[in-house]
Structure 1
Amino acid sequence: MTLDPATLAAILAMMAATVFTRLIGALLVSRFTLSPRLERALTAVPPAVLMAVVTPTAIATGPAETIACLVAALAALRLPLLPAAGAGVVTVALLRAAGL
């Protein structure tokens, strides 16, 4: 497998942009006192982003993916984003292995 230099540069640029925006966001939020209402709103952002990413997959694909999206959505209500997404990935893998 070969890696095109332009592809590598694009990957590194996306990584840098992601890290930069996360660091800037963390620095900005740490300088302000957040109201409880704003904290609740910010807590709702990761599950909302997860739903925005997985909903097109749930609608456009088969039953295994739809069920896995539902599992991820339910997990996102109680778990952090990464474990919720992991639950969806594990679910779709198990359902595909079962032939669904």
Structure 2
Amino acid sequence: MVVWVPGCFEISVVAQQLGKSGKYNAILCIGAVIRGDTTHYDVVADSASSGVLSAGLNSDVPCIFGVLTCDNMEQALDRAGGKAGNKGSETALTAVSLC
């Protein structure tokens, strides 16, 4: 099942709800935060990573952090299946290894 959220900041809330539902063995949290001209990037990236960790701890279901934190769109595309590999598939392999 795929659940879309409006932004990376909201990933952890939904991950925790899904984990607590008892329907899933792991939750893959996949997204991207791309640096802009302000410090907003740092706040969102830090909140996303700590939120996913908290979601896993609070739901007792592994919530795997697969959120790319990139300097630009090209870097994000490279890491999402381009020349730098596919971090989404790596996230899935992490989940499989934990279950």
TM-score, length-scaled by structure 1: 0.29
Counting helix residues as a fraction of each chain, which structure ranks higher? 1
**Structure ranking higher on relative contact order (CA contacts 8 Å, 6+ apart):** 2
Counting strand residues as a fraction of each chain, which structure ranks higher? 2
TM-score, length-scaled by structure 2: 0.29
